[in-house]
Amino acid sequence: MKTALLIIHILIGSGLVGLILLQSSKGGLGGGLGAGEFYRSKRGAERVVFSGTIILAVLFFITSIVSLFVH
Type and span of the H or E element at 5:
helix 2-22
Instruction: Delimit the domains of the chain by residue range.
Output: 1-24+45-71
Determine the pLDDT at residue 45: 85
Q: How crowded is residue 62: how many other Cβ atoms within 10 Å of its Cβ?
A: 12
Q: Computed over its alpha carbons, how large is the radius of gyration of the chain?
A: 16
Is the model's pLDDT at 4 over the cut of 80?
Answer: yes
pTM for this entry: 0.75
Determine the pLDDT at residue 29: 52
Structure confidence by residue, pLDDT tens digits, 9-66: 999 999 999 999 998 776 555 455 555 555 566 678 888 999 999 999 999 999 999 9
